[in-house]
Amino acid sequence: MTIKIDPKAIDALTNFTLPTEIGFGKTIVPIMAVTDYKDGVWSPLELLPYAPIVMDPTCKVLHYGQEIFEGMKAYHVEEKGPYLFRPMMNAKRFNLSAQRMAMPDIPEELYMEAVRSVVEYSTDFIPTKSGESLYLRPFMIATENSLGIKPSDSYKFMVIASPSGSYFKNEALKVLIEREFIRASPGGMGYAKTGGNYAGSLISAKKARDLGYEQTLWLDGLEKKYIEEMSGMNFFAVIDGKIVTPTIQDTILDGITRNSLITIAKDLGYEVSEEKFEIEKLLSSIEDGSCTECFACGTAAIITPIGLFGDCTNNTWEVKNPIGPVSSKLKETLLALQEGRLEDKHEWRMEVK
Protein backbone atom coordinates (compact mmCIF):
# COMPACT_ATOMS: atom_id res chain seq x y z
CA MET A 1 0.00 0.00 0.00
CA THR A 2 1.50 3.38 -0.98
CA ILE A 3 0.45 7.00 -0.64
CA LYS A 4 0.97 9.73 -3.21
CA ILE A 5 2.62 12.73 -1.58
CA ASP A 6 1.66 16.17 -2.88
CA PRO A 7 4.81 18.38 -2.73
CA LYS A 8 2.59 21.21 -1.38
CA ALA A 9 1.99 19.08 1.74
CA ILE A 10 5.74 19.02 2.35
CA ASP A 11 5.90 22.81 1.81
CA ALA A 12 3.12 23.29 4.34
CA LEU A 13 5.04 21.25 6.93
CA THR A 14 8.21 23.30 6.41
CA ASN A 15 6.41 26.45 7.48
CA PHE A 16 4.66 24.90 10.50
CA THR A 17 5.63 25.34 14.18
CA LEU A 18 3.96 24.22 17.40
CA PRO A 19 2.40 26.94 19.57
CA THR A 20 3.64 27.22 23.19
CA GLU A 21 0.16 26.43 24.61
CA ILE A 22 -0.95 23.20 22.99
CA GLY A 23 -4.42 22.54 24.47
CA PHE A 24 -6.63 19.88 22.90
CA GLY A 25 -7.69 19.75 19.26
CA LYS A 26 -6.96 23.39 18.49
CA THR A 27 -3.72 23.12 16.54
CA ILE A 28 -3.84 21.01 13.40
CA VAL A 29 -0.80 19.73 11.48
CA PRO A 30 -1.15 21.21 7.95
CA ILE A 31 -1.49 17.91 6.10
CA MET A 32 -4.30 15.40 5.55
CA ALA A 33 -4.54 11.90 4.11
CA VAL A 34 -7.49 11.53 1.73
CA THR A 35 -9.20 8.81 -0.29
CA ASP A 36 -12.60 8.93 -2.01
CA TYR A 37 -15.08 6.11 -2.52
CA LYS A 38 -17.16 5.81 -5.67
CA ASP A 39 -18.64 2.84 -7.56
CA GLY A 40 -17.38 0.40 -4.97
CA VAL A 41 -13.73 1.51 -5.23
CA TRP A 42 -11.47 3.60 -2.98
CA SER A 43 -9.25 6.05 -4.93
CA PRO A 44 -5.43 5.99 -4.49
CA LEU A 45 -4.50 7.44 -1.11
CA GLU A 46 -3.02 10.95 -1.17
CA LEU A 47 -1.24 13.13 1.36
CA LEU A 48 -2.41 16.69 0.69
CA PRO A 49 -1.88 20.07 2.33
CA TYR A 50 -4.59 20.67 4.97
CA ALA A 51 -7.44 22.60 3.34
CA PRO A 52 -11.20 23.16 3.58
CA ILE A 53 -13.50 20.59 1.98
CA VAL A 54 -15.69 22.20 -0.67
CA MET A 55 -19.25 20.83 -0.52
CA ASP A 56 -22.46 21.24 -2.43
CA PRO A 57 -25.21 22.42 -0.04
CA THR A 58 -27.14 19.18 -0.77
CA CYS A 59 -24.22 17.01 0.34
CA LYS A 60 -25.82 14.17 2.33
CA VAL A 61 -23.60 14.45 5.40
CA LEU A 62 -24.89 18.00 5.96
CA HIS A 63 -28.51 16.84 6.17
CA TYR A 64 -28.59 13.27 7.40
CA GLY A 65 -25.40 13.06 9.42
CA GLN A 66 -24.05 9.96 7.68
CA GLU A 67 -20.62 10.26 9.27
CA ILE A 68 -18.24 8.25 11.45
CA PHE A 69 -14.92 8.93 13.13
CA GLU A 70 -12.20 7.52 15.34
CA GLY A 71 -9.89 8.96 17.99
CA MET A 72 -6.30 7.66 18.20
CA LYS A 73 -2.97 8.95 19.41
CA ALA A 74 0.69 8.73 18.43
CA TYR A 75 3.24 8.99 21.26
CA HIS A 76 6.80 10.32 20.98
CA VAL A 77 8.07 10.83 24.53
CA GLU A 78 11.81 10.67 25.39
CA GLU A 79 12.66 10.18 21.68
CA LYS A 80 10.90 6.79 21.72
CA GLY A 81 8.58 5.76 18.88
CA PRO A 82 6.50 7.34 17.49
CA TYR A 83 4.14 4.62 18.62
CA LEU A 84 0.51 3.94 17.84
CA PHE A 85 -1.43 2.03 20.51
CA ARG A 86 -3.60 -0.91 19.39
CA PRO A 87 -4.39 0.85 16.08
CA MET A 88 -6.00 -2.23 14.54
CA MET A 89 -8.72 -2.02 17.17
CA ASN A 90 -9.55 1.45 15.91
CA ALA A 91 -9.59 0.23 12.31
CA LYS A 92 -11.97 -2.57 13.24
CA ARG A 93 -14.22 -0.33 15.34
CA PHE A 94 -14.30 2.17 12.44
CA ASN A 95 -15.72 -0.53 10.18
CA LEU A 96 -18.22 -1.56 12.86
CA SER A 97 -19.42 2.05 12.95
CA ALA A 98 -19.45 2.10 9.12
CA GLN A 99 -21.71 -0.97 9.00
CA ARG A 100 -24.16 0.58 11.49
CA MET A 101 -24.33 3.78 9.48
CA ALA A 102 -24.78 1.94 6.13
CA MET A 103 -21.39 3.13 4.92
CA PRO A 104 -18.77 1.05 3.07
CA ASP A 105 -15.96 -0.66 4.99
CA ILE A 106 -12.53 0.78 4.47
CA PRO A 107 -9.86 -1.89 3.97
CA GLU A 108 -7.81 -2.07 7.18
CA GLU A 109 -4.53 -1.66 5.21
CA LEU A 110 -5.83 1.55 3.64
CA TYR A 111 -6.95 2.90 7.02
CA MET A 112 -3.59 1.99 8.57
CA GLU A 113 -1.53 3.48 5.72
CA ALA A 114 -3.42 6.77 5.98
CA VAL A 115 -2.85 6.92 9.75
CA ARG A 116 0.78 5.77 9.48
CA SER A 117 1.62 8.36 6.79
CA VAL A 118 0.12 11.24 8.75
CA VAL A 119 2.11 10.21 11.83
CA GLU A 120 5.33 9.75 9.85
CA TYR A 121 5.12 13.19 8.24
CA SER A 122 4.03 14.82 11.53
CA THR A 123 6.72 13.25 13.71
CA ASP A 124 8.50 16.56 14.32
CA PHE A 125 5.26 18.02 15.66
CA ILE A 126 4.38 15.36 18.22
CA PRO A 127 4.67 16.99 21.65
CA THR A 128 7.19 15.13 23.77
CA LYS A 129 6.04 15.51 27.41
CA SER A 130 4.48 12.48 29.07
CA GLY A 131 0.69 12.73 28.67
CA GLU A 132 1.00 14.73 25.45
CA SER A 133 0.63 13.20 22.00
CA LEU A 134 -0.49 13.61 18.42
CA TYR A 135 -4.26 13.14 18.46
CA LEU A 136 -5.39 11.52 15.21
CA ARG A 137 -8.86 11.90 13.80
CA PRO A 138 -9.74 9.47 10.99
CA PHE A 139 -13.25 10.14 9.67
CA MET A 140 -15.60 9.31 6.82
CA ILE A 141 -18.41 11.45 5.41
CA ALA A 142 -21.22 10.87 2.91
CA THR A 143 -20.51 13.05 -0.14
CA GLU A 144 -23.41 12.40 -2.55
CA ASN A 145 -25.26 15.54 -3.54
CA SER A 146 -28.98 14.84 -3.24
CA LEU A 147 -31.71 15.37 -0.67
CA GLY A 148 -33.22 11.86 -0.90
CA ILE A 149 -32.92 9.85 2.30
CA LYS A 150 -30.83 6.85 1.34
CA PRO A 151 -27.23 5.79 1.89
CA SER A 152 -24.87 7.99 -0.09
CA ASP A 153 -23.29 6.55 -3.23
CA SER A 154 -19.96 8.27 -2.54
CA TYR A 155 -17.81 8.92 0.54
CA LYS A 156 -14.64 10.69 1.62
CA PHE A 157 -12.23 9.23 4.17
CA MET A 158 -9.64 11.49 5.75
CA VAL A 159 -7.09 11.49 8.53
CA ILE A 160 -6.09 14.74 10.22
CA ALA A 161 -3.82 15.22 13.23
CA SER A 162 -3.68 17.56 16.20
CA PRO A 163 -0.72 17.91 18.58
CA SER A 164 -2.49 17.75 21.92
CA GLY A 165 -2.04 18.10 25.66
CA SER A 166 -4.54 17.20 28.30
CA TYR A 167 -8.26 17.12 27.43
CA PHE A 168 -9.49 18.44 30.78
CA LYS A 169 -8.22 21.50 32.67
CA ASN A 170 -9.26 20.31 36.11
CA GLU A 171 -7.74 17.41 37.97
CA ALA A 172 -11.05 15.96 39.19
CA LEU A 173 -14.29 16.22 37.24
CA LYS A 174 -17.70 17.30 38.46
CA VAL A 175 -20.25 15.03 36.80
CA LEU A 176 -23.99 15.48 36.26
CA ILE A 177 -26.06 12.30 36.46
CA GLU A 178 -28.44 12.76 33.52
CA ARG A 179 -31.90 11.65 34.68
CA GLU A 180 -33.94 13.42 31.96
CA PHE A 181 -32.39 12.82 28.51
CA ILE A 182 -30.98 9.52 27.24
CA ARG A 183 -28.00 8.94 24.96
CA ALA A 184 -28.89 5.57 23.43
CA SER A 185 -31.31 2.69 23.61
CA PRO A 186 -31.10 -0.98 22.62
CA GLY A 187 -31.07 -1.43 18.85
CA GLY A 188 -29.94 2.16 18.36
CA MET A 189 -26.51 3.41 17.35
CA GLY A 190 -24.96 4.06 20.78
CA TYR A 191 -22.03 1.74 20.06
CA ALA A 192 -21.11 3.53 16.82
CA LYS A 193 -18.66 6.40 16.79
CA THR A 194 -20.88 8.70 14.78
CA GLY A 195 -21.41 12.43 15.08
CA GLY A 196 -25.11 12.05 15.92
CA ASN A 197 -24.33 10.44 19.27
CA TYR A 198 -22.18 13.42 20.20
CA ALA A 199 -24.64 15.98 18.81
CA GLY A 200 -27.40 14.38 20.88
CA SER A 201 -25.27 14.66 24.02
CA LEU A 202 -24.72 18.41 23.72
CA ILE A 203 -28.00 19.46 25.31
CA SER A 204 -26.89 17.66 28.45
CA ALA A 205 -23.35 19.05 28.17
CA LYS A 206 -24.89 22.54 28.12
CA LYS A 207 -27.15 21.78 31.07
CA ALA A 208 -24.20 20.30 32.97
CA ARG A 209 -22.12 23.41 32.33
CA ASP A 210 -24.95 25.73 33.38
CA LEU A 211 -25.27 23.81 36.66
CA GLY A 212 -21.51 23.90 37.33
CA TYR A 213 -20.61 20.38 36.12
CA GLU A 214 -18.15 19.38 33.43
CA GLN A 215 -19.50 16.09 32.11
CA THR A 216 -22.64 13.99 31.83
CA LEU A 217 -23.03 10.47 33.19
CA TRP A 218 -25.58 8.68 30.98
CA LEU A 219 -28.00 6.11 32.34
CA ASP A 220 -29.69 3.34 30.33
CA GLY A 221 -32.48 4.44 28.02
CA LEU A 222 -35.15 2.01 29.27
CA GLU A 223 -35.18 2.38 33.05
CA LYS A 224 -32.65 5.16 33.76
CA LYS A 225 -31.33 2.82 36.40
CA TYR A 226 -27.98 1.58 35.11
CA ILE A 227 -24.81 3.53 34.38
CA GLU A 228 -23.77 3.49 30.72
CA GLU A 229 -21.02 5.90 29.66
CA MET A 230 -19.92 9.54 29.57
CA SER A 231 -20.19 10.80 25.92
CA GLY A 232 -16.66 10.20 24.68
CA MET A 233 -15.43 8.36 27.77
CA ASN A 234 -16.17 5.15 29.66
CA PHE A 235 -16.81 4.99 33.39
CA PHE A 236 -15.05 3.10 36.21
CA ALA A 237 -15.40 3.03 40.02
CA VAL A 238 -13.43 1.35 42.77
CA ILE A 239 -15.77 -0.23 45.34
CA ASP A 240 -14.45 -2.28 48.25
CA GLY A 241 -11.12 -2.41 46.43
CA LYS A 242 -12.71 -3.95 43.31
CA ILE A 243 -12.70 -2.13 39.96
CA VAL A 244 -16.23 -1.96 38.55
CA THR A 245 -17.35 -0.84 35.08
CA PRO A 246 -20.59 -1.22 33.09
CA THR A 247 -20.72 -4.22 30.75
CA ILE A 248 -20.42 -3.29 27.09
CA GLN A 249 -23.65 -3.56 25.12
CA ASP A 250 -25.00 -1.93 21.97
CA THR A 251 -25.78 1.31 23.80
CA ILE A 252 -22.17 1.91 24.89
CA LEU A 253 -19.04 2.74 22.90
CA ASP A 254 -16.58 -0.13 23.34
CA GLY A 255 -13.61 1.98 24.44
CA ILE A 256 -10.11 0.81 23.58
CA THR A 257 -8.75 2.57 26.67
CA ARG A 258 -11.46 0.83 28.73
CA ASN A 259 -10.54 -2.53 27.26
CA SER A 260 -6.81 -1.92 27.86
CA LEU A 261 -7.38 -0.80 31.46
CA ILE A 262 -9.28 -3.98 32.28
CA THR A 263 -6.30 -6.05 31.10
CA ILE A 264 -3.76 -3.78 32.81
CA ALA A 265 -5.73 -3.86 36.07
CA LYS A 266 -5.91 -7.67 36.02
CA ASP A 267 -2.16 -7.83 35.23
CA LEU A 268 -1.55 -5.62 38.27
CA GLY A 269 -3.56 -8.00 40.43
CA TYR A 270 -6.78 -6.00 40.82
CA GLU A 271 -10.14 -7.69 40.69
CA VAL A 272 -12.27 -6.27 37.86
CA SER A 273 -16.01 -6.65 37.49
CA GLU A 274 -17.87 -5.80 34.28
CA GLU A 275 -21.49 -5.68 35.35
CA LYS A 276 -24.88 -4.03 35.00
CA PHE A 277 -23.98 -1.15 37.27
CA GLU A 278 -26.88 0.49 39.12
CA ILE A 279 -26.54 4.22 39.71
CA GLU A 280 -28.00 3.73 43.20
CA LYS A 281 -25.24 1.23 44.01
CA LEU A 282 -22.66 3.83 43.03
CA LEU A 283 -24.27 6.59 45.07
CA SER A 284 -24.82 4.49 48.20
CA SER A 285 -21.25 3.22 48.04
CA ILE A 286 -19.99 6.82 47.84
CA GLU A 287 -22.19 7.66 50.85
CA ASP A 288 -20.96 4.74 52.97
CA GLY A 289 -17.35 5.25 51.90
CA SER A 290 -16.92 1.85 50.20
CA CYS A 291 -16.49 3.62 46.84
CA THR A 292 -13.06 5.19 47.08
CA GLU A 293 -12.42 6.27 43.48
CA CYS A 294 -14.31 7.02 40.29
CA PHE A 295 -12.80 7.90 36.95
CA ALA A 296 -13.52 8.47 33.27
CA CYS A 297 -11.28 7.00 30.59
CA GLY A 298 -10.84 7.42 26.87
CA THR A 299 -8.27 8.15 24.21
CA ALA A 300 -8.54 11.90 24.69
CA ALA A 301 -9.25 11.85 28.44
CA ILE A 302 -6.70 9.09 29.27
CA ILE A 303 -7.80 8.58 32.91
CA THR A 304 -9.51 11.50 34.58
CA PRO A 305 -10.67 11.19 38.22
CA ILE A 306 -14.18 12.23 39.21
CA GLY A 307 -14.56 14.21 42.43
CA LEU A 308 -18.27 15.00 42.54
CA PHE A 309 -21.61 13.72 41.21
CA GLY A 310 -24.83 15.66 41.25
CA ASP A 311 -28.28 15.43 39.71
CA CYS A 312 -31.38 17.49 38.99
CA THR A 313 -32.51 17.08 42.63
CA ASN A 314 -29.57 19.28 43.66
CA ASN A 315 -28.19 16.38 45.70
CA THR A 316 -24.44 15.90 45.45
CA TRP A 317 -22.15 12.99 46.23
CA GLU A 318 -18.50 13.73 46.86
CA VAL A 319 -15.70 11.24 46.34
CA LYS A 320 -13.34 12.11 49.19
CA ASN A 321 -9.86 11.66 47.66
CA PRO A 322 -10.55 11.53 43.95
CA ILE A 323 -6.95 11.19 42.81
CA GLY A 324 -6.59 7.78 44.43
CA PRO A 325 -4.01 5.01 44.25
CA VAL A 326 -5.87 2.76 41.80
CA SER A 327 -6.52 5.34 39.08
CA SER A 328 -3.02 6.79 39.58
CA LYS A 329 -1.38 3.37 39.16
CA LEU A 330 -3.53 2.54 36.12
CA LYS A 331 -2.74 5.88 34.48
CA GLU A 332 0.98 5.58 35.15
CA THR A 333 1.02 2.03 33.71
CA LEU A 334 -1.12 2.92 30.69
CA LEU A 335 1.08 5.90 29.78
CA ALA A 336 4.27 3.87 30.30
CA LEU A 337 2.93 1.28 27.87
CA GLN A 338 1.74 3.83 25.33
CA GLU A 339 4.91 5.92 25.54
CA GLY A 340 7.32 2.97 25.37
CA ARG A 341 8.69 2.77 28.93
CA LEU A 342 7.24 -0.62 29.83
CA GLU A 343 7.65 -4.08 28.33
CA ASP A 344 4.90 -4.52 25.76
CA LYS A 345 3.88 -8.06 26.66
CA HIS A 346 0.49 -7.85 24.92
CA GLU A 347 2.07 -6.40 21.73
CA TRP A 348 -0.10 -3.30 21.81
CA ARG A 349 2.45 -0.77 20.54
CA MET A 350 3.10 -0.27 16.83
CA GLU A 351 6.15 1.77 15.97
CA VAL A 352 5.83 4.11 13.00
CA LYS A 353 9.09 3.87 11.10
Q: Which of 29, 34, 45, 71 is the binder for ligand COI (CB under 6 A)? A: 71
* AA letter at 224: K
* AA letter at 91: A
- Min dist CB 285 to ligand COI, Å, is 27
CA-to-CA distance for 60 and 105, rounded, in angstroms?
Answer: 18
Q: Which of 30, 138, 190, 298 is the binder for ligand COI (CB under 6 A)? A: 298
Rule CB under 6 A: say whether 141 interacts with ligand COI.
no
Among the residues of the chain, which ranges form H helices?
Answer: 7-14, 60-64, 87-100, 108-122, 195-199, 202-210, 256-267, 279-287, 325-339
Chain positions 230 to 249 lying near ligand COI, rule: CB under 6 A, are 232
CA-to-CA distance for 175 and 165, rounded, in angstroms?
Answer: 22
- Min dist CB 299 to ligand COI, Å, is 3
Q: Which of 152, 201, 299, 327 is the binder for ligand COI (CB under 6 A)? A: 299
User: What interhelical angle do 108-122 and 7-14 show, nearest 10?
Assistant: 40
- Report CA-CA distances (Å) from 176 to 42, 185, 307, 313: 43, 19, 11, 11
- Min dist CB 256 to ligand COI, Å, is 9
- Min dist CB 82 to ligand COI, Å, is 17
Rule CB under 6 A: say whether 300 interacts with ligand COI.
yes
Give the nearer residue to ligand COI in terms of CB position, either 9 or 300: 300
Rule CB under 6 A: say whether 190 interacts with ligand COI.
no
CA-to-CA distance for 217 and 228, rounded, in angstroms?
Answer: 7
Give the nearer residue to ligand COI in terms of CB position, either 71 or 104: 71
CA-to-CA distance for 98 and 86, rounded, in angstroms?
Answer: 19
Which residue's Cβ lies closest to ligand COI? 71
- The stretch among 99-107, 158-166, 237-245, 293-301 that binds ligand COI (CB under 6 A) is 293-301
CA-to-CA distance for 3 and 13, rounded, in angstroms?
Answer: 17
Q: Which residues bind ligand COI (CB under 6 A)?
A: 71, 232, 298-300
